């Protein structure tokens, strides 16, 4: 009885609707049908998030990079009040280790992002974390945006950059 009522309610919506028999379709086939009928850029949307480990991991991510081994601007009196978007902080972070880290991560992403796209993913979230999420992770995310922005749709989020850091923290 409930089935008949459901069909009656849905009958009004049937005009103009696409009917797809999903009985023998896997997830990838159904996704392809939906994208074919309703569009989709086909271009991978990449979100790069900076965060502070002391505030917890972001809820959704495909890749996480820990940059807490890089020199910490928090302990430099002239830099502590700035964040990773400031050129002085970036210069401090991108000493030999920081420059090599970004080069290695960029190389990994240039390999992995096309693989995610080939698998049919529409979006990928990459997270970069330091202790507080204000200096090192922000600088790395901004540099990755600069290097990768021409090839993918990049959205950057600095989750913890505006959080206040009590004195003595930031390791």
Kindly report, residue by residue over 20-44, the tens digit of the pLDDT. 787 887 876 776 666 666 655 567 8
Q: Is residue 135 part of a domain?
A: yes
Same domain, 32 and 95: no
d(CA 142, CA 154): 11
Structural domain boundaries enclosing 81: 45-158
pLDDT digits 0-9 by tens, 67-108: 999 999 999 999 999 999 999 999 999 999 999 999 999 999
Give the lowest-confidence range in 18-27, 109-118, 152-161.
Answer: 18-27
Same domain, 20 and 49: no
Sequence-distant (≥ 6) Cβ neighbours of residue 9 within 8 angstroms: none
Angle between helices 96-118 and 136-148 (to 10 degrees): 50
| Beta-ladder partners of 128 | 50, 65
Q: Is residue 169 part of a domain?
A: no
Same domain, 27 and 87: no
Res 136 pLDDT > 90: yes
User: CA nearest 123: which of 41, 25, 22, 19?
Assistant: 41
Give the lowest-confidence range in 3-12, 41-50, 85-94, 137-146.
Answer: 3-12
Q: Is residue 168 part of a domain?
A: no
Query: Total structural domains in the chain?
Result: 2
Classify residue 120 as left (phi > 0), alpha (psi -120 to 50) or beta: left
The pLDDT of 142-152, averaged and rounded, is: 93
Same domain, 127 and 63: yes
pLDDT at 2: 65
Same domain, 84 and 113: yes
d(CA 122, CA 107): 21
Same domain, 15 and 52: no
Same domain, 139 and 71: yes
- Contact call for residues 140 and 94 (beta carbons, < 8 A): no
Same domain, 141 and 108: yes
Q: Using the CB atoms, write b or e for 100-128: b if 16+ within 10 Å.
A: ebbeebeeebeeebeebbeeeeeebbbbb
Q: Is residue 149 part of a domain?
A: yes
Geometric angle at alpha carbon 70, from 128 and 159, rounded to 5° = 30
């Amino acid at each position: 009885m409930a089935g008949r009522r459901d069909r009656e309610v849905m009958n009004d919506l049937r005009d103009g609707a696409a009917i797809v028999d999903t009985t023998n379709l896997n997830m990838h086939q159904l996704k392809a049908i939906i994208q074919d009928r309703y569009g989709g850029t086909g271009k991978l949307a990449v979100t790069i998030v900076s965060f502070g480990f002391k505030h917890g991991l972001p809820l959704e991510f495909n890749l996480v990079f820990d940059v807490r081994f890089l020199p910490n601007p928090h302990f430099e009196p002239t830099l502590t009040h700035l964040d990773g978007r400031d050129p002085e902080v970036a210069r401090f972070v991108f000493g030999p280790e920081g420059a090599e880290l970004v080069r290695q991560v960029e190389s990994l992403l240039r390999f992995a992002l096309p693989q995610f796209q080939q698998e049919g993913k529409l979006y990928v979230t990459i997270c970069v974390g330091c202790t507080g999420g204000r200096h090192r992770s922000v600088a790395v995310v901004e540099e990755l945006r600069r290097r990768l922005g021409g090839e993918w749709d990049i959205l950057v989020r600095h989750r913890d950059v505006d959080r206040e850091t009590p004195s003595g923290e930031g390791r």
